[in-house]
Structure 1
Amino acid sequence: MQSVELQQRLCAEPFSLLGVHKAGLFTRIRAWLPGALEVNVVTLDTNEILGRMRREGNSALFELELVADWPACLYKLDILTSNGRYERIDPYQFQQQAYHAVHFVDQDPQNLYQQLGAQLISLDEGLSTPVSGTRFAVYAPNARAVSVIGDFNWWDESAHPMQKTSLGYWVLFVPGLKAGQRYKYALKDSHGNALPHKADPIGFQAEQYPSHASVIYNHQEYQWQDSAWRQREGENPYQRPMSIYEVHLGSWRRKFTEQGSEYLSYRELVKTLLPYVKDMGYTHLEILPVSEYPFDGSWGYQPVGLFAPTSRFGDPDDFKYFVDQCHQSGLGVIIDWVPAHFPEDGHGLARFDGTHVYEYADPRKGWHPDWNSCIYDFGKDEVRQFLVASALYWLDKFHIDGLRVDAVASMLYLDYSRNEGEWIPNVDGGNHNYEAISLLRWMNQEAYRRFPNIMTIAEESTSFAKVSRPVYEDGLGFGFKWNMGWMHDSLHYIAKDPAYRSYHHNELTFSMVYAYDENFILPLSHDEVVHGKGSLLRKMPGDEWQQAANLRCYAAFMFGHPGKKLNFMGNEFGQSAEWNHDASLQWHLLEYDKHKGIQTLYRSLNHIYCRYPALYECDHQNHGFEWIDHHNAEQSILAFVRKSADARQKVYVICNFTPVPRSEFRIGVLDKGQYQVLLNTDESQYWGSDFTQQKQYQAEEQAWHDKPYSLALELPPLATLYLIYEQDS
């Protein structure tokens, strides 16, 4: 009966059958060894042969019977097969050590990645001989049987059955397994039916198609060199410049080999991407999801490995090196993190043990109609802990500076993208997903409590209140929120022919009505340059010169507007084509003055933005902004002033959204004195017309726009001017 259960892979308690057992006057050692012809039991420390094991019938179950007073010691098995002889330390003599994996898992989210998955450990406490190996632990509460398979057991599903615990975790310590070895889990559902082999939900490294195998990884080997970055103190992110370069690592730039176009590795990106981003003046890199994902075309937004950086570009140490070098270069690293949904791939989380372990069972809550993917069960304790653990893991093990949380709106609303009758109301009859709201609050609290210097950013497209307000103020607890309203309105405006912009003037000004409701980031993200939307440059109306001028004018408007900044790669040099994740950016365009001029402008904008506190210190405080003129719809001209925290520095932003130059154009100013031109997007270095080359203006004692002084400007066509006034100390 014992051998049948093992043979059919239906054994949930292998420690009750295998290993060392007292039986009256005898001690029995049992081992399940498919393919073995002959087996000897040998002491581990002295290599003494204790005896030859007897086979039970024609099965793979072997047994050695010893006298009861045999001194307990560690042993190994000397195994003869048709392919030769080998030795292995019997894993079933380590029951206590295997169980230890899940003693404290439910007490702290971090315990999940510190205890579960494939943990490299060394056993020495109470043992005569230290033993190193890998302890496996996986959550599959409704499985009938689970075994770990890999190269080490020739992927034999019956070779290493795991032990089920009362908490629903399956555990086994396998001696001798080292970093770099591949593995998966073979599960049978509650009816005994075999399921697809599963990658480790808390696997730290993964292989690509076709294996999708998990890989044992040692987190202790990489030596970080970013202590100065990590230990910095006193930085308030709301009063610091933040210009984010959003990057898809697979298509920023590619290399060409005999096999065709290939990805740059994490280490190759250090040599190419980092110097470029530093030269351009960005403060942060935001990387589209790096959590392991099976389908290139999802860009990472359909992840299956929430604890493994994708191996497309290298191993986890390579990714650590990438982050490390960013920090040493003074760049923060933000990653997109996707807790909203996951794909149905057979090796992933979907119906993990034959039941809905990770996803809502009811498709009205558990299936996402937009993305054809599963939605996490945000109300289940184990799933909540799993997701919070993933967030903490990236901040902890990879020193990530920020998490941009994708698709928050889809989590908050039960009726998101659903018609009437396709969703289940909450207990109060409404459409808010209380479970998801609670999860996001918990995640943010844990992240900021443990890593005070980090930031969390919500991609949230609705007017849900207090997304970036603390939990103790009844907020969701995010540090920042993408300003999707500003993005939508301003892009809609700038795409209009200048002749019609006067009718849409409020689309530029409306954002200031709610600008301080949240801690906003102004995004021009990857979502705006795909799926037929065209590149940022191609959204602009007019001929070739006007398109470029519109883009330059708009970019400077964005950098002047309150809120931190985010631009997707390619925007900064006016990529012509829509983004293609399967190809490199159009770097050859920089051979042309137009695109080189746009790139030069973005470089200037970043450096000016970071240099002058008036442009960033009060991004989230209303006393740092004042309208000069927001009523001039007829001429499509906008003017406002940004102020430093002490109001001693002021930067005036004047935008002319028509191709008509304006001479002696008067705007009101607050102070008497001299005003320097910081930026003119119409300069020839930016491929502008050089309509005016005036570098400074003197304020006149002529009241204008309800201000005591004014300037008479030469306003170029389709251009933005920055003028600075600095009060003497």
Structure 2
Amino acid sequence: MSELPDRQTINAIISGYYADPFSLLGMHQTEAGLEVRALLPDASEVWVIETSTGRKCVQLKCLDSRGFFCAVVPRRKNLFRYQLAVTWHGEQNLIDDAYRFGPLLKELDSWLLSEGTHLRPYETLGAHADVIDGVTGTRFSLWAPNARRVSVVGEFNYWDGRRHPMRFRAESGVWELFVPAARNGQLYKFEIIDAFGQLRLKADPFAFEAQMRPQTASMICGLPEKVEMRADRKAANAFDAPISIYEVHLGSWRRHTDNNFWLSYKELAEQLVPYVKEMGFTHIELLPINEHPFDGSWGYQPLGMYAPTRRFGTRDEFRYFIACAHEAGLNVLLDWVPGHFPSDDFGLAKFDGTELYEHSDPREGYQQDWNTLIYNFGRREVSNYLAGNALYWMERFGIDGLRVDAVASMIYRDYSRAEGEWIPNHYGGRENLEAISFLRYTNRTLGHAAPGSITIAEESTDFPGVSRPPEAGGLGFWFKWNLGWMHDTLDYMKLDPVYRCYHHNLMTFGMLYNHTENFVLPLSHDEVVHGKRSILDRMPGDAWQKFANLRAYYAWMWAFPGKKLLFMGNEFAQGKEWNHDVSLDWHLLEGEDNWHHGVQRLVRDLNLTYRHYTPLHQLDFDPDGFEWLVVDDHENSVLIFVRRDRAGNEVIVASNFTPVVRHNYRFGINQPGNWREVINTDSAHYHGGQVSNGTVASQPIASHQRQHSLSLSLPPLATLWLVREAE
């Protein structure tokens, strides 16, 4: 006779406190024979059906009115494939029993996950459609080592945590379950009884698609197909390539005029992609598109690290947007935020009752600037979760690179903290050694597993070697934002021209350290919010001078060594600060030709000219690519330099940052010949005053320690680019 489960055991399994549901539920060989046990709340009748014959084997007895059924299969000793015919509310359903399937997690995956070196943890953890033993369903896996019980709940089981408690793999801390008939498109979460007995309902950290706020469920959907990186996309990311990045917040680039609602991914593919291509940019950089609960964070407080936000459409529609950008010859960069995450209860915070993803001590685990939590990079599974996410976007979406947000906040333990508010590392220093190790590992991994892709660091300090290989002691990024250049030059440009002669060094200082890193020159979203004013509005003077200053500054930036980044709206000189809740001020371009049109045309011409002439980009990170011709004329606020390519071809760049024409301005040059203006920001085409030189022949007159020289009229508040014509 069978030893039936006692009341205590039944209470434990129903309440969710039974340690190993697979040892109790399903089919088991016992002394009494082959016994089948099932937990089916609200069922009135249950039969065991032999799958191969469709024959009823035995009716399970209800041992508890809450839905616990059990019976011994007569005349059977060996395990066999079976199904359950279950009657709920008068209707019979034929289902596969989730508890007849064996362990899912492979030994190698378990080892690599525990070691923190699984290259693609997203292929194992999360929700994955599968066919096991001829049965179609979804396998769920979740890392929650300190939980007492985890159930998967969703549309397939009435969100009832009693129905699908998971198997615990103690060797890795992973919970797993194959749920027959759970299918793509269905919503789910994990119901956790945490380490302290509290019930928590959590979204899947590895969800590939998720609901948009205020809903928070995850969605079953298959892994996207891999996207191979074409040779042209790799070449566009190279150190010697022209890289001009258009930074975009998808929710406010443009909106529907009738209801102020967002454009969809499909509409953005039809409108944004052609615009960026027409403007001559080479890359689109998207502010974070990971699913996030708060619109006002602009995506910088993400929780769905593996799920593109549904604000603009589905996951596959986002992939379509990227494919359209690639078809147009544009590379796509994502803003990526491994530096912090919000404390929303459905997310990662105290995931299994313990500080699993974050630190327990707020001096390490709380980011006070943003009221968010900090990842525990020293926990192998956490760093693996993030490093795998970086590769996921490259492989599965065809993303060409990541701009990593707030690197300084990651690599310094005392970032934005007063004395006593931070914990030193084990050497007594301020560096976060675990975060540094994580960044090196991630960059090294991408270099090997996604060759051709790039990472760009937003790092606001002078930490050495940010864009140098880990093998040489660097962090391994390909590029670094040059925030020092940005602050210095904007500080200079906002000065009344009469005072610029006293701050000449702000424009020249950048070259003293320019070759210590591979720099990107950014005029990003951070520079047009929080009372800083728009870039245009920082320029001094009346309207004419503001626009002239801006045009001169843009041409200076595009010619200066380093790749370029411009935030949306700056390309047509938006006058107001950026507001994420509304569209850019496209109405400024309506009607008659005006100054805004002039700036927009200039930015397009800068991009196209910059891409055409190799001296302007080929040796960005080589000292041979740059030389000052006039660096010390602070009285006139004139600066002149030359850009050079490997073949020795040169482009001369001359800027006059005063509102006075400098007639007959003579300076020495390296290569005699006829020099032609290819960019003049004072051109009438850009709504300037049309002080022009056309083509100018050099003269054998010594100047600035050179045997030959040019004499130009330097327009007021303007920058010129000149190229030497072929002899």
TM-score (norm 1): 0.96
Question: Residue 230 of structure 1: CA displacement?
Answer: 5.3
In the alignment, is the contact (CA less than 8 A) between 1:12 and 1:162 conserved in 2?
no
1:113 partnered with 2:122: yes
For residues 272-291 of structure 1, the aligned pairs below 5 Å read 272-291=271-290
Matched, 1:650 2:660: no
Worse overlay, 50-59 or 361-370 = 50-59
Give the drift of 1:95.
2.3
User: Cα offset for 1:111?
Assistant: 3.5
SS of structure 1 residue aligned to 2:199: coil
Q: Do structure 1's residue 176 and structure 2's residue 177 form an aligned pair? A: no
Residue number in structure 1 paired with 2:4? none
Moved more, 514-523 or 29-38: 29-38
Q: 2:51 is matched with which residue?
A: 44
Letter in 2 for 1:682: D
Residue 272 of structure 1: SS of its match in structure 2? helix
Q: 1: distance between equivalents of 2:230 and 2:694?
A: 38
421-430 or 455-464, which deviates more: 421-430
In the other structure, the counterpart of 2:95 is 88
Matched, 1:678 2:683: no
What 5-or-longer segments of structure 2 have no aligned partner? Answer: 1-7
Question: Is 1:493 matched up with 2:500?
Answer: no
Whether 2:16 is the aligned partner of 1:9: answer yes
- Of 52, 60, 64, which aligns to 2:71? 64
Rounded Cα–Cα distance in structure 2 between residues aligned with 1:588 and 1:315: 30
- Following superposition, the deviation at residue 428 of structure 1 comes to 1.6
Cα gap change, 1:236 to 1:307, in 2 (>3 Å): closer
Deviation of 1:228 (Å): 7.5
Report the alpha carbon displacement of residue 106 of structure 1 after superposing the two structures with TM: 3.7
Whole-Å separation in 2 of the counterparts to 1:45 and 1:396: 41
What's the CA shift for 1:103? 6.0
Alignment partner, residue 20 of structure 1: 27
Shift of 1:526: 0.2
Aligned to 1:547, the other structure's residue is in SS state helix
Alpha-carbon offset, residue 726 of structure 1: 5.2
Contact 1:229–1:328 (CA<8 Å) still a contact in 2? Answer: no
Tell whether the 8 Å contact from 2:128 to 2:223 is kept in structure 1 after alignment. no
Query: How far, CA to CA, are the matches of 1:251 and 1:308 in structure 2?
Result: 20
Q: What's the offset of the Cα at 1:553?
A: 0.4
Q: Name the SS for the 1:360 alignment partner.
A: coil
**Aligned equivalent of 2:264:** 265
Percent identical residues: 48
Residue 208 of structure 1 and its aligned partner are, at CA, apart by 1.1
Q: Write the letter of the residue equivalent to 1:671.
A: Q
Which residue in 1 is equivalent to 2:218? 214
8 Å CA contact 2:619, 2:625 repeated in 1? yes
Deviation at 1:57, TM superposition (A): 3.0
Amino acid at match of 2:160: D
Please state how far the C-alpha of 1:113 moved relative to its aligned partner.
Answer: 0.3
Q: Distance in 2 between matches of 1:210 and 1:54?
A: 43
Kept in 1: contact 2:29–2:79 (CA 8 A) = no
TM-score, scaled to structure 2: 0.96
Compared with structure 1, are the counterparts of its residues 522 and 58 closer, same or farther at alpha carbon in structure 2 (3 Å cutoff)?
same
Q: Cα deviations across residues 245-275 of structure 1 (Å, max 9, x unaligned)?
A: 0000111011145xx2211111111100000
Length, aligned pairs only: 715
Q: Distance in 1 between matches of 2:456 and 2:281?
A: 18
Q: What is the correspondence of 1:422-433 to structure 2 with a 5 Å cutoff?
A: 422-433=421-432
CA contact (8 A) 1:120 1:132 kept: yes
**Could you say what secondary structure the match of 2:239 adopts?**
helix
Contact 1:229 1:330 in 2 (8 A): no
C-alpha distance in structure 1 between counterparts of 2:469 and 2:231, whole Å: 23
Q: Residues 340 and 374 of structure 2 are in contact (CA less than 8 Å); yes or no, is this contact kept in structure 1?
A: yes
What is the alpha-carbon distance in structure 2 between the residues aligned to residue 80 and residue 407 of structure 1? 56
> Cα distance 1:241–1:585, how it changes in 2: closer, same or farther (>3 A)?
same
- Select the residue among 144, 158, 166 that pairs with 1:154: 158
| Structure 1 residue 163 corresponds to structure 2 residue 167 | yes
Superposed CA deviations along residues 9-49 of structure 1, whole A, max 9, x for unmatched, are 22331101101111014111111111111111222343221
Question: Paired residue for 2:5?
Answer: none
Matched, 1:141 2:145: yes
Give the distance between the partners of 1:497 and 1:262, measured in 2 at CA. 40
Partner of 1:419: 418
1:470 counterpart letter in structure 2: P
Could you list the per-position Cα deviations for residues 679-699 of structure 1 after superposition, in whole angstroms to 9, with x for gaps in the alignment?
A: 00011111111123x310000
Displacement, 1:395? 0.9
Other-structure match for 1:704? 703
Q: Which deviates further from its counterpart, 483-492 or 48-57?
A: 48-57
| Structure 2 Cα separation of the partners of residues 536 and 336 of structure 1 | 22
The residue that corresponds to 1:34 in the other structure is 41
CA shift digits 1:656-693 (9 cap, x unpaired): 1111111111121111110010100011111111123x
Measure the CA separation in 2 of the matches of 1:319 and 1:112.
Answer: 22
Partner of 1:669: 669
SS in 2 for 1:341: coil
Instruction: For residue 64 of structure 2, give the secondary structure of its aligned residue in structure 1.
Output: coil
In the aligned structure 2, how far is the partner of 1:233 from the partner of 1:448? Answer: 12
Q: Does 1:527 find its partner at 2:526?
A: yes
State the partner residue of 1:314. Answer: 313
Aligned partner of residue 595 in structure 2, secondary structure: helix
C-alpha distance in structure 2 between counterparts of 1:338 and 1:41, whole Å: 50
Give the AA of the match of 1:171: E
Q: Give the CA deviation at 1:86.
A: 2.3
Q: Secondary structure at the match of 1:87?
A: strand
Question: Cα RMSD (Å) of the superposition?
Answer: 1.6
Q: CA deviation at 1:703?
A: 1.2
2:633 matched to which residue of 1? Answer: 632
Q: How far is the alpha carbon of 1:82 from its aligned partner?
A: 2.1
Tell me: CA distance 1:517–1:242, structure 2 relative to 1, closer, same or farther (3 Å).
same
Choose the corresponding residue for 1:194, options 196, 199, 207.
199
Shift of 1:99: 6.6
Please state whether the residue corresponding to 2:602 is helix, strand or coil: helix
Q: Distance in 2 between matches of 1:13 and 1:228?
A: 45
CA contact under 8 A between 1:468 and 1:476: conserved in structure 2?
Answer: yes
